[in-house]
Amino acid sequence: MMEYIPERRVKPRINCDYRVIVAGYNGDGNKYQEDAKLANLSASGLFMIVNRQIEYGNNLSMTILLADAIKEEDSPKISANGTVVRTEHRVDGSCGVAVKFKNYRFL
């Protein structure tokens, strides 16, 4: 018999597959910016897949492109800042990253 585990999330989450431009600082203090893939989104945070290892507690700036527009400037966007609250290091070198928003705004 399976045990029931109640949902702990406060905000509803939607699964999606959008591009995220992520910026932060690596362990050496050097700034980076790269593309990531959004996996899900809520009013309080997001989960994305990035092609680098990002550590718990890092602060990130993100631009979420909410459509597959031909030109980036045609896409509706969300600009967000947040803190990494969970990481999932993967064997292929990528990293699943959960971020809790500090703030965000629609562009």
Residue 82 has what DSSP assignment? E
CATH no. for residue 18?
2.40.10.220
Decide if 69 is inside a domain.
yes
| Distant-in-sequence contacts of 25-29, Cβ < 8 A, 24+ apart | 25/58, 26/52, 27/55
Decide if 75 is inside a domain.
yes
Decide if 23 is inside a domain.
yes
Please give the pLDDT value at position 36: 97
Please give the pLDDT value at position 38: 97
pLDDT < 70: residue spans in the chain: 1-10, 68-73
Q: Using CB atoms within 10 A of its CB, is residue 92 exposed (0-12), middle (13-18) or buried (19+)?
A: exposed
Decide if 68 is inside a domain.
yes
Please give the pLDDT value at position 51: 94
Please give the pLDDT value at position 1: 45
* Structural domain total, the chain: 1
Please give the pLDDT value at position 7: 52
Decide if 3 is inside a domain.
no
Decide if 77 is inside a domain.
yes
Decide if 2 is inside a domain.
no
Please give the pLDDT value at position 70: 60
Please give the pLDDT value at position 10: 66
Residue 3 has what DSSP assignment? P
Domain that holds residue 98: 14-106
Please give the pLDDT value at position 13: 86
Specify the residue for token string 């362990």: 27
Helix (H, G, I), strand (E, B) or coil at 73: helix
CB neighbours of residue 12 within 10 Å: 9
Please give the pLDDT value at position 5: 47
Decide if 5 is inside a domain.
no
